[in-house]
């Protein structure tokens, strides 16, 4: 065997990825000029004014709300943008934002222009954007906890901390742009961001105690609750119950056809669930409860419904001053586990794959999910109907 040659070994490296559109000779100013020339001077957008506490449909110059000189910039022509419950919290003044920001952290579209350093997508590609960027340099990022990055994550969230996708065009860093499979529709892809958060919650569950006969309870039939149920269905679980106080949303859940039971919360009884003193031999109760409503009282309701060894996943965003009542004795005697889920660290690829499979199974039809589309001009109606609960999700069509 020949002696190790360090220099030769270093030389045997993979070549850098080839750029798919621009050559390395393009200057930053040339690229910026090219990007600007390919786009309209103004773009319409839904902009939140913190001081006025108002969401306004405005026309803005793209160069005034984004850095077109960034070689890593990708300009997306937005086709669909979803409204999240977090957006409602913004309008209620419960989520801090810059003085003015274009909302929208769930959006898909087509690449309209790219900077000189972008190589993994090109003009015309269909893409979905992860709104959470990480610095990839801090201890949280090095430890794989990119969602706790103090230099990124929520502090740089696209659509909350900086301008987002409820606009005809949005400028984002290339690191958060994910190309879509050719067979995946944009309608399915607009659900990638919320599904990626659900995938994180599922990943945090302890799987060693789960079987195909495990019983699941989902609290809340909003889009988060329905996506939780769809993910469980995708993984082969069939004993899924969902509770929802609003009759219109219960009807939507019932028509989806994947639940063993759809019921109002008050119909659930703890009488047939395992009790700390009876040996845990009851047939009722649930192995996993996913709390998706953001209502602290739902957590109080969930714990007594868990079987011995059961797990509660707190997924919904409750108000920061909400409190729950826990019995350490019950937690101990039933060996209950409580897990939480925050954002979507490295789960975007998984969400894309799961939604692609669900779309193939005809489970992502907007009408079946209670999703309705709106134009930007109708944003007031969209937010009002979502808040009233007459729809499960509002999605803006921009192209």
pTM: 0.89
CA-CA distances (angstroms) from residue 150 to 120, 141, 399?
A: 27, 9, 35
How far apart are the C-alpha atoms of 382 and 31, rounded to whole Å? 37
What pLDDT, on the 0 to 100 scale, is given for residue 115? Answer: 94
Q: At residue 322, what are phi and psi to the nearest 5 degrees?
A: -70, 150
Give, as one character, the DSSP assignment of residue 363. Answer: -
* Confidence at 3, pLDDT banded by 50, 70, 90: very low
In tens, the pLDDT along 135-150 reads 889 999 999 899 999 8
Q: Is the pLDDT of residue 1 over 70?
A: no
Per residue, the 3-state secondary structure of 281-328, as one string, reads: CCCCCEEEEEECCCCHHHHHHHHHHEEEEEEEEECCCCCCCCCCCCCH
Q: Which residues form the catalytic set?
A: 86, 89
In tens, the pLDDT along 361-386 reads 889 999 999 999 999 999 999 999 99
């Amino acid at each position: 065997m020949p002696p190790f040659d360090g220099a030769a070994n270093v030389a045997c490296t993979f070549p850098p990825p080839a750029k798919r559109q621009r050559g390395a000779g393009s200057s930053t100013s040339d690229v910026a000029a090219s990007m600007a020339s390919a786009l309209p001077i103004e773009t319409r957008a839904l902009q939140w004014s913190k001081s006025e506490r108002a969401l306004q449909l405005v026309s803005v110059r793209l160069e005034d709300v984004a850095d077109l000189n960034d070689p890593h910039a990708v300009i997306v022509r937005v086709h669909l943008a979803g409204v999240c419950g977090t957006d409602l919290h913004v309008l209620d003044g419960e989520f801090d934002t810059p003085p003015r920001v274009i909302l929208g952290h769930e959006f898909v579209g087509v690449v309209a222009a790219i900077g000189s350093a972008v190589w993994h997508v090109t003009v015309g590609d269909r893409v979905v954007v992860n709104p959470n960027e990480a610095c990839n340099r801090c201890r949280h990022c090095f430890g794989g906890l990119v969602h706790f990055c103090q230099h990124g994550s929520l502090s740089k969230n696209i659509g909350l901390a900086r301008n987002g996708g409820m606009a005809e065009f949005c400028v984002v860093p290339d690191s958060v742009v994910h190309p879509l499979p050719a067979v995946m529709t944009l309608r399915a892809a607009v659900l990638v961001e919320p599904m990626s958060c659900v995938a994180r919650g599922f990943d945090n569950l302890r799987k060693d105690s789960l079987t195909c006969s495990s019983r699941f309870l989902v609290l809340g039939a909003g889009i988060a609750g329905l996506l939780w149920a769809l993910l469980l269905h995708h993984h082969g679980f069939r004993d899924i119950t969902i509770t929802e106080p609003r009759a219109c949303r219960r009807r939507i859940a019932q028509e989806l056809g994947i639940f063993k039971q759809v019921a109002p919360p008050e119909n659930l009884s703890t009488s047939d669930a395992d009790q700390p003193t009876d040996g845990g031999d009851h047939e009722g109760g649930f192995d996993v409860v996913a709390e998706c409503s953001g209502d602290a009282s739902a957590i109080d309701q969930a714990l007594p419904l868990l079987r011995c060894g059961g797990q509660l996943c707190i997924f919904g965003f409750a108000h920061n001053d909400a409190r729950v009542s826990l019995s350490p004795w019950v937690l101990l005697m039933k060996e209950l586990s409580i897990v939480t889920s925050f954002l979507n660290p490295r789960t975007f690829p998984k969400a894309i794959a799961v939604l692609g499979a669900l779309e193939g199974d005809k489970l992502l039809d907007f009408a079946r999910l209670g999703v309705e589309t709106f134009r930007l001009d109708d944003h007031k109606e969209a937010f009002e109907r979502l808040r009233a609960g007459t729809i499960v999700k509002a999605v803006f069509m921009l192209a």
